[in-house]
Amino acid sequence: MDIRAGRLEKEMTKNAAEFTSSLGFDHYIFDADVECNIAHTSMLKEEDIIDKDVADKIIKTLNELKEEGFEALTFDYAVEDIHMAVENYVTDKIGDIAGFMHTAKSRNDQVATDIRLALKIKVREIQKSILSFMEGLVETAREHKETIIVGYTHLQHAQPVTFAHHLMAYAQSLKRDYERLEDTYKRVNINPLGSAAMATTTFPINRETTTNLLGFDSYMENSMDGVSARDFIAETVFDLTMLTTNLSKICEELVLWSSYEFSLIEISDEFSSTSSIMPQKKNPDVAEVARSKCAIINGNLVTVLTILKAIPYTYNRDLQELTPHLWNACESSHDILNIVKDMTLSIKVFNGRGIELAESNFATATDLADLMVKEKSIPFRVAHEIVGKVVNEAFDNCIMLDNINSDFINRISVDIIGEELNLSNESIRKALDPVENVKLRNIPGGPSPEMVEIACKN
Ligand code: ARG
């Protein structure tokens, strides 16, 4: 059937039809659309709104289409979208009685329902991959609870931690990404079907039935909201931009850490490239491409919000143009997630390098100041100044961490507070030792092996 036959006298130009068609991206909602039609027709039958034999024929044909798949549809540019293509398929098989399937239904509530159905599956798939990455991180962290590395602030050496503690920081951010999607899922899982064009229908439809048949939690309470609400799309795309932003930060660190200057890790060959001219090169291309693909998803989010911001209630065709951005965000973020997971879980860690860095640049200085507070009861701010000067003087005179002793500190403390601190050399050694440093940070959330084990269990 041609929906233009009644009201319109002329065909759309080929360009206009192609310009406005959603067929190029409707394959994402093909399965959902067939399910939606089956559920709706079953409900129409159950409520005696359409003839039972007609309903059975429609449902049987829709089931055949499900078997045959998307390719069985006819894609003429004049067919506006998947909903018309599906109805045309049924009409071709059983004749004009197929038209009963559109009773009390509009493409407006149908497309909103289809997107939600298809999105539920995608969100669950992404969540599953997040969990698997988290599990891999926990497993790797358990192997590195004693592997000292230096932690950074401002990309300057800050304090020693362990590689495990750092990986568990990644795991925590992924946990929040998972939870955000879990929360969003609740708002995706609501059924707009029954809203019809925007004001429901006078047919006695049963919205509970289609809600149950399609596996939604509940139905949308306002039909105008039902056909026009797309905040669930914006929300999902935001969740995915946050996820990929977190993944991009991981990529950034792997790129840095695998550089000669850091030499903390090696990215495995499977995720590296080389140069066509420089034979020595091993380049972290996967991490780099992942970093930039995240930018496209950020663009998807801005596009979605910009399309939504000035749309009057209720349905406007602008809404159609949101969906390619949603599907790109879903697929691209899932690809990024999987590749970053595989790459991160296959890195080789150079065990000795982390401690070398942690010992070479006064990353344990905070603990020397803490020692003065604990043993000599001087205010932390004063201890901070003394240690700052100790470090300065050590740098000026090329004195290494190992050579900082009680006499050296006394000379500086006399300058600043007019007295010798007389810390024992043994306690100084202990305070400045990165391994001790980490062990002593045995506070919930801290890097000690004991605390990291607790974090791994949670
Ligand atoms: N392709 C459209 C979309 O994705 C179908 C929905 C209704 N179309 C319409 N012209 N009212 O939004």
Active-site position among 218, 259, 275, 424: 275
Tell me the DSSP string of 10-63. Answer: SPPPHHHHHHH--TTTGGGGHHHHHHHHHHHHHHHHHTTSS-HHHHHHHHHHHH
Give the distance (Å) from ligand 1 centre to CA of residue 333: 26
In a structure prediction context, what are the per-residue pLDDT tens digits for the chain, which is 458 residues long? 677 778 888 889 999 999 999 999 999 999 999 999 999 999 999 999 999 999 999 999 999 999 999 999 988 877 889 999 999 999 999 999 999 999 999 999 999 999 999 999 999 999 999 999 999 999 999 999 999 999 999 999 999 999 999 999 999 999 999 999 999 999 999 999 999 999 999 999 999 999 999 999 999 999 999 999 999 999 999 999 999 999 999 999 999 999 999 999 999 999 998 889 888 999 999 999 999 999 999 999 999 999 999 999 999 999 999 999 999 999 999 999 999 999 999 999 998 999 999 999 999 999 999 999 999 999 999 999 999 999 999 999 999 988 999 999 999 999 999 999 999 999 999 999 999 999 999 999 999 999 999 999 88
Give the distance (Å) from ligand 1 centre to CA of residue 85: 12
Q: Does the annotation count 334 as an active-site position?
A: no
- Choose among 70, 89, 87: nearest CA to 25: 70
Give the distance (Å) from ligand 1 centre to CA of residue 79: 12
pTM: 0.95
Of 108, 311, 327, the residue with max ligand 1 atoms within 8 A of its CB, to mutate for a pocket test, comes to 108
In one letter, which amino acid is 114? D
Closest residue by CA, ligand 1 atom 4:
320
**Distance separating alpha carbons of residues 377 and 374, to the nearest angstrom:** 6
Pocket of ligand 1 (CB under 6 A): 22, 81, 107-108, 111, 315, 317, 319-320
Tell me the DSSP string of 357-370. Answer: HHHHTTTTHHHHHH
All structural domains of the chain, each given as residue ranges with its CATH number in brackets, are 14-103 (1.10.275.10), 109-202+216-355 (1.20.200.10), 365-432 (1.10.40)
- Choose among 294, 359, 323: nearest CA to 160: 359
ipTM of the complex: 0.97
Tokens of 94: 């059983």
Q: Does the annotation count 424 as an active-site position?
A: no
Give the distance (Å) from ligand 1 centre to CA of residue 317: 6
Residue bearing tokens 């001219």: 277
